[in-house]
Structure 1
């Protein structure tokens, strides 16, 4: 990596030096954005497989993968009837030193690993108890707390939960706060300021909004009203725009995506748009089983998976208004489920759960078009994917 010091010379003779600095800055920027210089990058993928296993992969600058490691998320015999589709959720700490996974087989827990910054491989640290089965985990921006959305396995328990647990040098502690939420709480996101939390709840047609205190690690459930969707929509996942002025929620049942304005000063939100991802072949009342939702690192593109049609649906994001414009659908083999952008936004990786494969698509930075460049066979039922640059 080329490092350039800021040039503060003001004498006329310094003009060539300033020109050289400008050239070096452009070269440095090209290294990080063009994909033309890949030797300095160390890209790795962490993939969960069903409720039990985890694999580690090295990713090349052309989007190819080579397997490095396989590890258990839990070491127990699973109870008869444990659904293979109940995937563990993964989360990487903001400093990229640790990986966390939710163990969704009872007794529920969170497993922690240390990430080798040179090799990308994982070293087991320990397990901690969880409040219930967790389909989504995330840290606050500083990485001091792990927040989890919980969806109880028992269908007769018409409830959900959100929990907060402290992180101490990669070791997740037992939850110090658990708050009851509406049924089938399926995801959790924290805004860039670390002050506001969103919780989509599929079976209540609401997105719960909470304040969060990064100093104490406590949620306040009494100050913000929920966002209400149309009946039967089924809010599943959500993302904040990198600029922290907009948020997006996809709906599992009716296939819509809601766009919201967001004010990071007080958490105020307003619905600004509803778009559709439903396949043309789907009936008007069919559950289209929308899955993951991801936004590109630069905030220009939004993608979601539609499991019933095994498609990835993309939208361009207007940076001024936050409004979405369709850029089409891409067919994916074997039930598209989870998505992940590489940290520089050049590739989108999509798993095919039923064919046990993951597919790499090159992302056109201008149009958002996807061009399939690679595929790799993963262990059974690949689910959650995290891509990390350890350079």
Structure 2
């Protein structure tokens, strides 16, 4: 039974991230449009900044900053001025960085405690709250970034793996991998509090392992990737209540991959070492900017699966699965113009850029050196003024 009651965790956050009071210069009148990618690498504690040429897909390493041991999930503020990065060693903390509006370079801004070791980080749609999910502690958390207030924590079933608010910022959803549930909440944008919608969850088929989430831009549909099933489940979101209704499922694992479904991977064997079973190990899920394509990464086969999205009905159709050169691809991310897909590999020395064709096909066009164990990707586009 999932416990949806919350409690205040520990002492108040003594070091607020002070997003609201940060003084940051705006873009200069002569600034050129630019696209930057930020990639965390827990193996060396770095965040690498890349420039992405949206005309040809060229990727270049610009700079690297030391973020801290086991830097892992990250989140961009909606205004593009702050990058948050969670450190997964005690004392669990989030590091906030200012983003230079012209160069995209990062500078350390503030640190604050986190409730637990967090596998997932996001902000709400206003940027006032930092949302997090702890896989190991079965916990969700919400904390303000500009006030010294207690962190709100919510116990979940086994292995919470994501938490995001919908485009309207009225509802929040979480992938609960170990319970085969997608948790559904109302989100109070004034206090950050979560309250369950109905029973507080919708169930998915056994051994799916709900992991990451993606929303349609209009807020009508939610997509959830199954880590152990390699499927993507589509839900309709009730406009008034936020309640989820399952409308379809698409399998992203073709038979030719010879992967076993529904078998959890022990966290102690997170790198496939000596694993006798080639099992499905899906990871990330990203929707294209135009909403017509959905991509899923699969680590065991080092591949990416593409789905077509019916933007009217929300239904999915599997297109194909494409091998990528990045070994054990954890995160993927679209460029803002939708022409390129960035891919990191936990066991790769490079980050790759792939051209995306209209049918979802991928063609590798660029690469750049990665940090050790490259993992989380956040992409930022700055506009000319």
- For the superposition of Structure 1 and Structure 2, which TM-score range results when normalised by the shorter chain? 0.7 to 0.9
Structure-1 separation of matches of 2:283 and 2:213: 11
Alignment-derived partner of residue 95 in structure 2: 111
Task: Give the one of 348, 351, 374 matched to 1:355.
Answer: 348
**2:111 aligns to what?**
127
Question: Residue by residue, what CA displacement relative to the aligned partner does 1:293-316 show, whole Å, maximum 9, x if unpaired?
Answer: 111111111000011111100001
1:223 and 1:270 mapped to 2: Cα distance?
Answer: 12
- Does 2:210 match 1:235? yes
Q: SS of the residue aligned with 1:203?
A: helix
TM-score (norm 1): 0.81
User: C-alpha offsets along residues 337-356 of structure 1, whole Å, 9 cap, x if unaligned?
Assistant: 21011122121111122122
SS at match of 1:119: coil
Counterpart-to-counterpart distance in 1, 2:176 and 2:64: 33
The one of 245, 264, 282 aligned to 2:259: 282
Give the 4+ runs in structure 1 shifted more than 6 A.
Answer: none
200-209 or 63-72, which deviates more: 63-72
Q: Report what 2:66 is aligned to.
A: 72
Q: Which residue among 223, 238, 242 is the counterpart of 1:263?
A: 238
What is the alpha-carbon root mean square deviation over aligned residues?
A: 1.8
Distance in 2 between residues matched to 1:144 and 1:317, nearest whole Å: 31
Contact 1:186 1:200 in 2 (8 A): yes
Shift of 1:122: 0.6
Q: Which whole-Å CA distance do the structure 1 matches of 2:225 and 2:36 have between them?
A: 27
Match of 2:286 among 294, 309, 312: 294
Note the alpha carbon deviations across 1:310-345, whole angstroms, 9 max, x for none: 110000100111111122111012122210111221
SS at 1:383 equivalent: coil
**Which stretches in structure 1 are left out of the alignment for 5+ residues?**
1-38, 79-85, 153-158
Unpaired segments of 5 or more residues in structure 2? 1-30, 264-278
How high is the TM-score relative to the length of structure 2? Answer: 0.82
TM-superposed CA distance for 1:224, in Å, is: 4.7
How far 1:47 moved relative to its partner? Answer: 0.3
2:129 corresponding residue in structure 1: 145
Q: How many residues align?
A: 333
Which protein has the larger Cα radius of gyration, Structure 1 or Structure 2? Answer: 1
Higher relative contact order, structure no. (Cα contacts within 8 Å, ≥ 6 residues apart):
2
Q: Compute the displacement of 1:73 (Å).
A: 2.0
CA distance in 2, matches of 1:295, 1:93: 19
Q: 1:224 to 1:344 in 2, by over 3 A?
A: farther
1:188 to 163, 166, 169: 163
Whole-Å separation in 2 of the counterparts to 1:45 and 1:259 = 28
Q: Which whole-Å CA distance do the structure 1 matches of 2:262 and 2:97 have between them?
A: 43
Matches within 5 A, 1:287-326: 287-326=279-318
Partners of 2:51 and 2:62 within 8 A in 1? yes
Q: Secondary structure at the match of 1:354?
A: coil
How far has the Cα of 1:223 moved from its partner? 4.2
